[in-house]
Structure 1
Amino acid sequence: MMCSIYKSAKKPDTYLYVPFDTDFEDLPEGLMSVWGEPELVMHLDLAKREQLALVDINELKSKLDEEGYYLQMPPSQEELAQLIKGK
């Protein structure tokens, strides 16, 4: 599955994952109103990945199939501490 990753112009460290061929008109209006103008970061082939750095790949695939998007919020201070410790 190919997906596209966009970063938010309004929300730092917030990313939106969508299937590659997604039309932003199909996404929830509320999401797009708080999101701002999306800026493309990259396209990613999830079939060639077993894991991602900050996102559970199975949860990502499930959300893309069920909801048509996945919103990655910035990690909390506790989550950052755990990442640094390698947990």
Structure 2
Amino acid sequence: MYLYVKREEGLSRVPESLLSVFGSPESALVMVLEPHRKLAMADAATVLDDLESKGFYVQMPPASFSESLLSTLTIED
């Protein structure tokens, strides 16, 4: 999971409830984001809109990845 925030705001606008689910964030990448930039898993214009309106954007792994990861786990009673 990736959490996009504005560099100058950091986590200040991210709700505490999201941070508690997210866990301890680690900086992974700093980039200049423009509306037409190609991102692998998100639309840059949507990310920018959410950064302005909400102060953050959450990018989840694709459902197929999550499902395949879960299928490899075994739970013992």
TM-score greater than 0.5 by the shorter chain: yes
Larger Rg: 2
Q: Deviations over 1:29-80 (max 9, x none)?
A: 10011111101101010139621111111111110011000000110119xx
The DSSP-based 3-state class of the residue aligned with 2:29 is: strand
Q: Detail structure 1 runs of 4+ shifted over 6 Å in the superposition.
A: none
**Structure 2: stretches of 5+ with no match in the other structure:** 66-77
Higher strand fraction: Structure 1 or Structure 2? 1
Q: Distance between the aligned counterparts of 1:24 and 1:52, measured in 2?
A: 22
Q: Structure 1 residues 25 and 50 mapped into 2: Cα distance closer, same or farther (>3 Å)?
A: closer
- TM-score of the superposed pair, with normalisation by structure 2: 0.74
Structure 1 alignment gaps of length 5 or more: 1-13, 79-87
What is the alpha-carbon root mean square deviation over aligned residues? Answer: 1.9
Query: How many percent of aligned residue pairs carry the same amino acid?
Result: 35
Q: What secondary structure does 2:9 align onto? A: coil
Aligned residues: 65
TM-score (norm 1): 0.66
